[in-house]
Structure formats: C-alpha cells, structure tokens
Structure 1
Amino acid sequence: MTNSNVFQNLSQESMSLDQVFHNIVRYMKQDVIGNYRLIFGTDSQVHTDHTLFITGIVIHRERKGAWACIRKVKVPRKMTNLHERISYETTLTEEVVSLFSEEMKQQLIDIVLPHIYKGASFTIEGHIDIGSGSRNKTRVFVNEMVSRMESLGLEPKIKPDAVVASSYANRYTK
C-alpha cells in the first residue's frame, strides 16, 4: 500500500504538508475579508488489481475561487465491500485532517479573525462521498460517517453538498 504524505496539484508535482499549508496561508492572505471553507474529502475507485483513494484538500473562498491539492493512496487489491471502502475513505480524510495541528488551524483562524466584523469567516468541513437518498446504497452509513467527522470538530457534508469528495477527488480516481 502506498500511503505517503506527498500532495500534488496541476501546478506542483510533489508537495510536503508544510508546502500545502504555506499555499493555504498565502491564498487566504490575498483576501483577508473572504469567507473561507477549508474542506477535506476522499473518494475511491476500484480498478482491476488495486483500489485508488484520492483525498482532496481545498481552501475555498466563496464566490472567489479556490486553491486545492490531492493525496493519492493505492491499496493493492480490489476493495469490493462498500462499507469497508466508505470507512477507509473516511479514515483517510481523518488522517489528513489530523496532520493539521491545532496551531496550524489557529494560524488560519487568526488570518480572518481581525476581519469578522467586516464579513470574514472560516469553517472546516469534512466531505463524505455518501448520500441519504432512498436509492443510495451508502445511506446506511450516513450516521456513522457523519459522527466520525463531527468527532474531529468538522462540519460534515454528504451528497449533494460533498463536492470535494464527490467531484474534485473523484476526478483523480479514474
């Protein structure tokens, strides 16, 4: 299983967590009065001889763009059990969130804090690639996975609001 803390995006091939954090700080400092959402989410795709997991980290400035990167984890087998796969997606999201120390989160809060009366805001979300619709096979896992995100202090989002997991990360699992 390849599981490293190497991140990448379209313009940077290999970033450390420190580089990711630096990019997030730099992005937020461009507009300190922005409404920011730091979003984490994972999606997976079963391939013939492995399962590929992509965890996305996105700093979204509402109505004004975003900066994002991904981390890839490859499991050398087909993970066909849906609960196992959804649970592992959630575990990988939790793992990446846990790399962000309380000091790092506080640094991000401190960027917008002096500007909250001018409309600035900052939230941290955990996007889970599951839905509660009656036709969605993952609906039985919603309470379990949402509770896991809440236990980390994240605001959980499921489909259709879990865009980092269901759209951004999904794009890189193919």
Structure 2
Amino acid sequence: MEYRKIFYNVSEKDMSFEDVIDRLKTFITADPRSEYVLSVGTDSHVHAKDTKFITAIHLHRKGKGAWGCLQNTFINRQINSIHEKISIETSLSQEVAYHFTSDYLVELSELLIPFSDEGADLTFEIHLDIGRKGVTKDLIQEMTGRVLAMGVEAKIKPDSYTAFGYANRYTR
C-alpha cells in the first residue's frame, strides 16, 4: 500500500515514504552490526489560526548517531483540549507506524548482521508526548493502550525523545 504523505529533514525535502525507507536501509547497511532503535513520535503547537503537528521518524544507531525525518500536519483551528491534542498526536504516530509494521520492519531487520548474542538488533517504538507529571498523566493508560494494541512498544517521558525532543524542535 502506498503512503502518500511527504517527509523532509535538514538536508532533503519532498521525500516519499519509500524514499524514507531507502534512507533507513542505507543508514543500517552502513553499520549492519549495530543496535538500532526506530521510533515514531508526534508533537504539536497551537498557533493563532491553526495547530501544527510534526511527526518524526528517528533511527538511532546506539552510541553512533542517528538519521531522522519529519512530516507536517496542520489542522485549521486552535486545538486547546489537551485530550484531543494528545489523541491526534497518538493517531498521527500510529498512522506512520502502521506502514512500518505492515510492510517494512522485517525488511529493515533482515539488513542486520548479528555478531554475538548482544548487538545487531532493531527495536521499534512509538514515542508519546505524555508523562507521569503534569496534565498528561491521566492520558497514559489510554494512549499507551492504543499503541500496545498495535503490538508496538509505547514510550513516555522521559524516554520518548522522538516526540518531546526531535519533533518538538520543529513545531514552532
């Protein structure tokens, strides 16, 4: 199934999802014996006339760098309900994650060359912009439950760096 949204990063614009997969494959094949964490996370910011959502795809080669890209989504109104905002963030992350789980995770994992019982691994996670402190603590069970129902590990603050760190930088 073709996924038609456009992705970008600081060095490339207008990447299709297939382009993103190619970049991820290139990044893994450059060091196929490493341990990787592939994560998807979304953050948002309410502006005067709309709400901007940034969904990030982040491939971390543990201890050796990362590659990432972003996707913009705009809703033409201010979303002031924290529940609605976090729910949309979770849905956008799930939408991107679905395309990995349905088509590409096995392909990416097959690029790894195990060299021992440790290392050469690919973990897949959805990072949620919620945590045990503040107004989002009441949403943890609902949002992590949605992600876990997909068979994907859910991470919350302080472990959800793709949402509250990487994506957050681009929401303003």
TM-score normalized by the length of structure 1: 0.93
8 Å CA contact 1:54, 1:71 repeated in 2: yes
Cα deviation 1:126-155 (Å, max 9, x = unaligned): 00000112xx10000001111111112221
Structure 2, unaligned stretches of length 5 or more? none
1: CA distance, partners of 2:65 / 2:119? 17
TM-fit CA distance, 1:116: 5.5
Corresponding letter in the other structure for 1:100: F
8 Å CA contact 1:39, 1:126 repeated in 2: yes
Runs of 4+ in 1 over 6 A off after TM superposition: none
2: CA distance, partners of 1:41 / 1:52? 14
Q: Within the alignment, does 1:137 sit opposite 2:103 as a pair?
A: no
Q: What secondary structure does 1:112 align onto? A: coil
Q: Within the alignment, does 1:164 sit opposite 2:162 as a pair?
A: yes
Q: Partner of 1:29 in structure 2?
A: 29
Structure 1, unaligned stretches of length 5 or more? none
TM-fit CA distance, 1:77: 0.2
1: CA distance, partners of 2:55 / 2:43? 7
1: CA distance, partners of 2:96 / 2:78? 23
**Range moving further from structure 2, 20-29 or 104-113:** 104-113
TM-score normalized by the length of structure 2: 0.94
Q: Partner of 1:60 in structure 2?
A: 60
Cα deviation 1:37-80 (Å, max 9, x = unaligned): 01000000000000000000011100100000000000000000
Q: Partner of 2:12 in structure 1?
A: 12
Q: Partner of 2:38 in structure 1?
A: 38
TM-fit CA distance, 1:16: 0.1
Q: Report sequence identity in percent.
A: 39
2: CA distance, partners of 1:34 / 1:113? 8
2: CA distance, partners of 1:123 / 1:43? 21
Q: Partner of 2:84 in structure 1?
A: 84
Aligned length: 169
1: CA distance, partners of 2:64 / 2:130? 27
TM-fit CA distance, 1:101: 4.9
TM-fit CA distance, 1:113: 5.6
TM-fit CA distance, 1:109: 1.2
Q: Partner of 2:94 in structure 1?
A: 94
8 Å CA contact 1:8, 1:71 repeated in 2: yes
8 Å CA contact 2:33, 2:120 repeated in 1: yes
RMSD: 1.3
1: CA distance, partners of 2:120 / 2:101? 22
